[in-house]
Homo-oligomer: A and B are copies of this chain.
């Protein structure tokens, strides 16, 4: 059986100690295994990165960018192969995998602009004939730890910019679907990156803790669930590192009575069920303002969901695929059960769908639940499945209070035609990414991604301009050239 190894110092290796099964979620079968790196293997990757750093940091940004241009080209040329790998291990349909990859490529494109992005600030004459400027220098070895749900995109949020800035990188992707991630990193090597600048180690907590504790690792980027994000942030920080840790979400859409309801239903269908809801930006709660809005929405959504197709990744007619594991399938179904038990109304029931020919696949169908209340388990926690909850409120303020009271603050949106409502909402809501008639307000690659409250720990966000700052360290130089023969008076006071 194929074993997915690590990429260390330019070569694919396995350390031969431990492995773990990788499932095809559409069939439920195990077709590959992934090597799990022990501490020594991770340290080897860190050492390779450390060794590659001096030459790479001295490579002019323009030349570092040229590698990224070639990488972008290779990603475009191998897009289908990447999407197939994603589908096999994650289960998402090709059109969705292509969307993910495209977003990832846009991050590579942004990293191509690194010569512009690294510009420092230059000040002439901060004092008489004294100049001062800032440089943004690379940190050295930096690490990324990424989740299963976007095996191509989330790593591409991190290392293209980190590397373009002059750092060397150790990536620990999800061990559940590591194939596409590794393949993409190999394309980057093919694009001309020197050995050791990018390293990929597959693994579990042992690998993670090694990255968090090793003093050579200067910074850690993480995307995953909130409890793990908190752990990562606390441990990396206790070790004196800089850290950005992105966690969970519970994204609400407010439906105002003046919303274009057909538009809202269309938008939410993709946002709630696309990729089986396994997105940190999935729209999982619709908050209808007024019962009329609620009923109009539910009626239209119910109708729309008739044509929703769940099925295997390799049939493009499907709208979405399986969830990642059987355990996760059980968890999602458990949330639906609990909603029913706690008095919510299951409008469309996606439990135990029939997917002919894929009886062992990890499928949950699109599910719509009305009359959910904030105390229910299904509301309080992130389901990460194709389940859309409807909460009914009577005023826009109630809807906003609900959102602000939730522990997560990743994304949210509002459907309305009214300029004033949209502005008030976007100004005041305690959420980091806000959509106005846009259900998945993921910032484009030239902005930055980050939630508020317990959805993000740290002060700089993922990708975009913030990534440049996260992956570099400011150095400020103050320069004065002495004129010959001119003696200066002693300065005891702090210069003013």
Say yes or no: is A1 at the interface (Cβ < 8 Å to chain B): no
Q: In the complex, what residue of chain B is closest to A457 when comparing beta carbons?
A: B240
Query: Which stretch (A14-22, A45-53, A125-133, A349-357) binds chain B?
Result: A125-133
User: What's the nearest-Cβ distance from chain B to residue A157, in Å?
Assistant: 13
Q: What residues on B are CB-neighbors of A495 within 8 Å?
A: 99, 440, 442
User: What's the nearest-Cβ distance from chain B to residue A16, in Å?
Assistant: 36
How many residues of A sit at the interface, in one of the four size bands? 35 or more
Contact of A477 among B102, B426, B444, B461 (CB under 8 A): B426
Say yes or no: is A154 at the interface (Cβ < 8 Å to chain B): no
Say yes or no: is A159 at the interface (Cβ < 8 Å to chain B): no
Given contacts A109-B65, A112-B113, A447-B134, contact A476 B432 (CB under 8 A): yes
Report A251-285 residues with CB < 8 Å from chain B CB: 260, 262-263, 266-267, 269-271, 273-275, 279
With A and B bound together, what is the CA distance between A319 and B492 in angstroms? Answer: 6
Q: In the complex, what residue of chain B is closest to A116 when comparing beta carbons?
A: B446
Say yes or no: is A115 at the interface (Cβ < 8 Å to chain B): yes
Greatest chain B CB density within 10 A among A477, A480, A489 is at A477
Contact of A447 among B109, B132, B269 (CB under 8 A): B132
Contact A96 B494 (CB under 8 A): yes
Contact A476 B434 (CB under 8 A): yes
User: What's the nearest-Cβ distance from chain B to residue A219, in Å?
Assistant: 8
Contact B270 A477 (CB under 8 A): no
Q: What residues on B are CB-neighbors of A266 within 8 Å?
A: 487-491
Say yes or no: is A120 at the interface (Cβ < 8 Å to chain B): yes
Say yes or no: is A207 at the interface (Cβ < 8 Å to chain B): no
Q: Mark A294-338, 1 if CB is under 8 A from B, else 0.
A: 000000000010000000000000011000000000000000000
Report A73-97 residues with CB < 8 Å from chain B CB: 73, 93, 95-96
Contact A437 B58 (CB under 8 A): no
Q: What residues on B are CB-neighbors of A38 within 8 Å?
A: none
Contact B447 A123 (CB under 8 A): yes
Q: Mark A462-485, 1 if CB is under 8 A from B, else 0.
A: 000110011001111111111110
Contact of A99 among B98, B127, B487, B494 (CB under 8 A): B494
Given A122-B134, A219-B459, A450-B474, 4 extra CB contacts under 8 A:
A120-B121, A126-B444, A435-B479, A436-B478
Write 6 A-B pairs (CB below 8 A) sorted by A numbering: A132-B443, A420-B482, A420-B483, A433-B478, A434-B477, A442-B478
